[in-house]
Amino acid sequence: MKLGSNNYYIYIIMKMKQKPETSTLIVTVQNRQGVLFKISGLIRKRQFNIASMTVSKTENPEISQFTIVVEGDRSIVEKMSKQLYRIVEVLKVSDPNEDEIVARELAMVKVSTIKVGSKMEISMIADNFRAKVINIQPNSMMLELTGDEEKIDAFYENMKKYGIREFVRTGRTVLYK
Amino acid sequence: MKLTGSEILCESLLREGVEVIFGYPGGAIMPVYDALTKYPKLRHILVRHEQGAAHAAEGYARATGKPGVCLVTSGPGATNLVTGIADAMMDSVPIVCVSGQVTSNLIGGDAFQETDVVGITTMISKHNYLVMKADEIAYTVKEAFFLSNTGRPGPIVIDITKDAQFGITEYQYPKKIYLPGYQPTLRGNDKQIKKAAGVINSSKRPFILAGHGVLISHAEKELAKLAEKAHIPVGVTLLGMSAVTKSHPCYVGFLGMHGNVSPNRCTNEADVIIALGMRFDDRVTGRLSDYASRATIIHVDIDPAELGKNIHAHIPIVGDIKEVLRELIPSVNETRHSTWFSSFKKYDVLEKEKVIEPEIHPRDGKLKMGEVIRTVSEVTNGKALVISDVGQNQMMTARYYNFETTDSYITSGGLGTMGFGVPAGLGAKVGRSEKEVWVFVGDGGFQMTIQEMTTIVQEKINIKIAILNNGFLGMVRQWQQLFFDKNYSQTQMFNPDFIKLSEAFGIPAVKIEKREDLVRGIEKARKTNGPFLIEFVVENEANVFPMIPTGASVDEIRVE
């Protein structure tokens, strides 16, 4: 099997599909103090399971957008969005279909380069994934990668054999098409 | 006009129509207390513990429909409010709690009497604020009052730093507020209402479940009209009690764990359920899996989050009960459901014989709670404003007081807060001074907020307190008897002499132990111009029946 080949990529995707059902909620809020606390408190109080949550200001500095990935079926998403609307600052909650949005996340990975020749191989894989090398140390290199969850999962799997020193990812953030 | 933050707070409260504040001073709220003396129109009632302030504000709000206001200091002042805030949240009661906070530059540094009030109250309030500048006070107060009493009402907390109270700024009361994320739906969706009318018109066994929402939206007349026109039986939840009078021909009883037999059993026989401003609490539904399984459920509530939360609603309608009913009534057909009504009757006969008669007309033995409450009900013609505490006294009040005026019962339902009765009663009387007010409280709950007796005396609040003394934490003892092999762990009460205690507070009191003294005692209380306390010594180990054991279905309700 060639490294970074398409077959391997597909295999990884198949494996990843077995994850629990998730939905994405886009929540726009009035940018007032304490909103993050209220939303996270609500998630805890009502026992919703969250895969990831990102938040940032939008083009309008008075409005922030949360992207929340929820584990659970439609009924959970519906309950959660109704509860979110009870928060006074929440302006809009929507749960888009996957084909209505573009979703991305950012990952950073620090990979060991102790193995002879690994630098070369890692760079090749990184090229295939359009990952960028952002820092090089004598024994490791750091790469950044943006993409959808599957792509990042696949990249992670490919890096494993070199020894992952550290790995972080942001969780998904989305925009309507 | 330049004013201090404290003066702006007082001005703003006046602008919102506030007449009474229940409060307790302390270090971080002193500037406001200083300013208060310049505003004699704001009557301040000094409670003896901040929890009392919160419950009194709740009692006031529920009696008047206007937000109740509390004023407390930082730290312990604010944390003592927490139970009352949580109570108001669960029961959708509009209260506005103003707490002092340490000076803004000390926040986060564990200063003396500093607590993170916003952090503590976020999960138990409808909304809250930390105000650190004098010029934010007026706007915040306007927003807080708007939020507290619109949509689904609830408690609002305003935490104001001491420097904001001192700060001097230009005062102008805002004309508008900007809350783009808060737009409660009042009008129901026309199509859904048409659909609901269709379902009601084709039903054989429709059943209305009336909750607190009916009272909050003042839809008692509309409810009675719908029930009369389409001849639909009405069951009420604990907080929906007195949404229709008990003598109304369509009233069939009290729903839930200790409610009446017929409305509980008939829930599972109904083909259409019209749930109005109620939230299918577990104390009402019993086991969910077979609850109302034959019924098409029409659920009307102003809070969309309640629709489908516990029970799937076939026809959910978001809106204010009054507005929705006004639209619904013209589309329902005038009809009779006499056969359906008679199926309630057969259970009523059973309950009357097995439970009600022995409770209200016992031949011998000690007084019974039901007997006491029914006698008060008869003497007052069912027209008092009644407040109960929590536990057996509460269930008995709901069961045996014959509410002959609508919107006349106040109790802590969702949170079930013992100690609610006395302070809520005093707040209710302050709000509706023309009403005769009776508080029913157990010997346990009475001792939880007993210090408010002083407040009652100081403010000359004419309420009648009926202690139903069974020497036990009765409801817990009942459960211990039924489900814990009579292991009465910590439920037998060692009580003080309530009569001497009451007299020490300055409230005249009598102790009633005998059946023949009942009416005389109640009359004496009524004739006394001012507060009065009666201690009724009732049977020690009596149980509240009927009962739906936890985990059982509503049709498994037991009468013994």
Q: Which sequence spans correspond to the domains of chain B?
A: 2-170, 190-344, 366-537
Of the candidates B87, B160, B152, which has an alpha carbon nearest to the alpha carbon of residue B124? B87
List phi, psi (to 5°) of B268.
Answer: -85, 0
**Residue A114 forms part of a structural domain:** yes
**Which chain B residue has the Cα nearest residue A31?**
B181
Q: The domain B190-344: what is its CATH number?
A: 3.40.50.1220
Give bridge partners of residue B159 from the DSSP assignment.
B99, B130
Give residue A135's domain range.
102-176
The token pair at B419 is 């100690």
B-chain residues near A39 (CB < 8 A): none
**Residue A50 forms part of a structural domain:** yes
- Given a contact cutoff of 8 angstroms between Cβ atoms, the answer to whether A82 and B305 are in contact is yes
Q: B180–A30: do the CB atoms touch at under 8 Å? A: yes
- Examine the domain organization and report whether A112 and A154 are in the same domain: yes
- Examine the domain organization and report whether A87 and A113 are in the same domain: no
- Given a contact cutoff of 8 angstroms between Cβ atoms, the answer to whether B237 and B278 are in contact is yes
Catalytically annotated residue among B475, B532, B536, B545: B475
**Residue A6 forms part of a structural domain:** no
**Which chain A residue has the Cα nearest residue B122?**
A38
Helices B321-328 and B220-229, packing angle to 10 deg: 30
Q: Which of B126, B147, B309 faces A79 most closely, judged by CB atoms?
A: B309
**Which chain A residue has the Cα nearest residue B305?**
A82
Q: Which of B122, B147, B182 faces A37 most closely, judged by CB atoms?
A: B122
Residue A38 sits in a domain of what CATH number?
3.30.70.260
Of the candidates B385, B360, B285, which has an alpha carbon nearest to the alpha carbon of residue B542? B360
A63-71 sheet: strands from edge to edge: A49-57, A63-71, A22-30, A90-94
- Given a contact cutoff of 8 angstroms between Cβ atoms, the answer to whether B544 and B396 are in contact is yes
Helices B82-90 and B50-64, packing angle to 10 deg: 30
Q: A85–B123: do the CB atoms touch at under 8 Å? A: no
**Residue A11 forms part of a structural domain:** no
Residue A143 sits in a domain of what CATH number?
3.30.70.1150
The token pair at B259 is 């409610």
**Residue A72 forms part of a structural domain:** yes
Which ranges of B361-491 does DSSP label H, i.e. alpha helix?
Answer: 369-379, 392-400, 421-431, 443-448, 452-458, 474-483
- At residue B84, the pLDDT reads 98
Q: Which CATH superfamily is domain B366-537 in?
A: Thiamin diphosphate (ThDP)-binding fold, Pyr/PP domains (3.40.50.970)
A125: number of Cβ within 10 Å: 17
List phi, psi (to 5°) of B149.
Answer: -120, 25
- At residue A108, the pLDDT reads 97
Catalytically annotated residue among B19, B30, B113, B354: B113
Task: Flag whether residue B130 sits within 8 Å of chain A, measured between CB atoms.
Answer: yes
Interface of B with A in 306-335 (CB under 8 A): 307-309
- Examine the domain organization and report whether A86 and A108 are in the same domain: no
Task: Flag whether residue B118 sits within 8 Å of chain A, measured between CB atoms.
Answer: yes
**Residue A57 forms part of a structural domain:** yes
Task: Flag whether residue B181 sits within 8 Å of chain A, measured between CB atoms.
Answer: yes
Q: Which of B123, B127, B304 faces A88 most closely, judged by CB atoms?
A: B127
Give me the torsion for CA of B98, B100, B105, B107, rounded to 10°: -80
Overall number of domains in chain A: 2
Classified as helix, coil or strand, B440 is: strand
Q: A38–B303: do the CB atoms touch at under 8 Å? A: no
| Those residues with Cβ within 8 angstroms of residue B131's Cβ, 6 or more apart along the chain or in another chain | B137, B140, B158, B159, B160, B161, B164
Of the candidates B398, B352, B443, which has an alpha carbon nearest to the alpha carbon of residue B257? B398
B-chain residues near A87 (CB < 8 A): 181
A59 min Cα distance to partner chain B (Å): 17
B112 noted as active-site residue = yes
Q: B123–A90: do the CB atoms touch at under 8 Å? A: no
- Given a contact cutoff of 8 angstroms between Cβ atoms, the answer to whether B100 and B32 are in contact is yes
Classified as helix, coil or strand, B272 is: strand
Q: A88–B308: do the CB atoms touch at under 8 Å? A: no
Buried b / exposed e along B149-180 (16+ C-beta atoms within 10 A): bbbbbbbbbbbbbbbbbebebebeeeeeeebe
- Examine the domain organization and report whether A68 and A108 are in the same domain: no
Q: Which of A30, A45, A82 faces B305 most closely, judged by CB atoms?
A: A82
- At residue A72, the pLDDT reads 87
- Examine the domain organization and report whether A110 and A66 are in the same domain: no
- Examine the domain organization and report whether A27 and A88 are in the same domain: yes
- At residue A46, the pLDDT reads 87
Classified as helix, coil or strand, B137 is: helix
Q: Which of A42, A82, A89 faces B181 most closely, judged by CB atoms?
A: A89
Q: What share of chain B is helix, strand, coil (3-state, %, to 5)?
A: 40, 20, 40
Catalytically annotated residue among B2, B112, B194, B458: B112
B436 noted as active-site residue = no
Q: Each residue's pLDDT tens digit in chain B (560 positions)?
A: 899 999 999 999 999 999 999 999 999 999 999 999 999 999 999 999 999 999 999 999 999 999 999 999 999 999 999 999 999 999 999 999 999 999 999 999 999 999 999 999 999 999 999 999 999 999 999 999 999 999 999 999 999 999 999 999 999 999 999 999 999 999 999 999 999 999 999 999 999 999 999 999 999 999 999 999 999 999 999 999 999 999 999 999 999 999 999 999 999 999 999 999 999 999 999 999 999 999 999 999 999 999 999 999 999 999 999 999 999 999 999 999 999 999 999 999 999 999 999 999 999 999 999 999 999 999 999 999 999 999 999 999 999 999 999 999 999 999 999 999 999 999 999 999 999 999 999 999 999 999 999 999 999 999 999 999 999 999 999 999 999 999 999 999 999 999 999 999 999 999 999 999 999 999 999 999 999 999 999 999 999 999 999 899 999 999 98
The angle formed by the CA atoms of residues B155, B161 and B163, to the nearest 5 degrees, is 150
B50 noted as active-site residue = yes
Distance (Å, whole) CA B439 – CA B401: 12
Q: A83–B305: do the CB atoms touch at under 8 Å? A: yes
Residues of chain A scoring pLDDT < 70: 1-19
- At residue A1, the pLDDT reads 39
B-chain residues near A88 (CB < 8 A): 126-127, 147, 179, 181-182
Q: The domain B2-170: what is its CATH number?
A: 3.40.50.970
- Examine the domain organization and report whether A55 and A86 are in the same domain: yes
Classified as helix, coil or strand, B538 is: strand
What is the rounded radius of gyration, in angstroms, for the C-alpha atoms of chain A? 19
Going from the C-alpha of B290 to that of each of B132, B211, B274, B553, the distances in angstroms are 52, 21, 17, 7
Give me the torsion for CA of B288, B269, B543, B55, rounded to 10°: 60
Q: A88–B118: do the CB atoms touch at under 8 Å? A: no
Distance (Å, whole) CA A69 – CA B406: 47
B30 min Cα distance to partner chain A (Å): 26
- At residue B560, the pLDDT reads 86
**Which chain A residue has the Cα nearest residue B308?**
A79
Classified as helix, coil or strand, B202 is: coil
- Examine the domain organization and report whether A24 and A89 are in the same domain: yes
DSSP one-letter code for B352: I
Distance (Å, whole) CA A50 – CA A41: 12
pTM here is 0.93
B-chain residues near A74 (CB < 8 A): none
Interface of B with A in 222-261 (CB under 8 A): none
- Given a contact cutoff of 8 angstroms between Cβ atoms, the answer to whether A85 and B304 are in contact is yes
The token pair at B261 is 């037999």
DSSP one-letter code for B416: -
Helices B474-483 and B392-400, packing angle to 10 deg: 100
Q: A88–B123: do the CB atoms touch at under 8 Å? A: no
Going from the C-alpha of B291 to that of each of A163, B206, B317, B397, the distances in angstroms are 56, 15, 20, 26
- Examine the domain organization and report whether A44 and A90 are in the same domain: yes
Interface residues of chain A, partner chain B, Cβ below 8 Å: 29-30, 33-34, 37-38, 41-42, 45, 75, 78-79, 82-83, 85-91
| Those residues with Cβ within 8 angstroms of residue B198's Cβ, 6 or more apart along the chain or in another chain | none
Interface confidence, given as ipTM, is: 0.88
Q: A86–B303: do the CB atoms touch at under 8 Å? A: yes
**Residue A1 forms part of a structural domain:** no
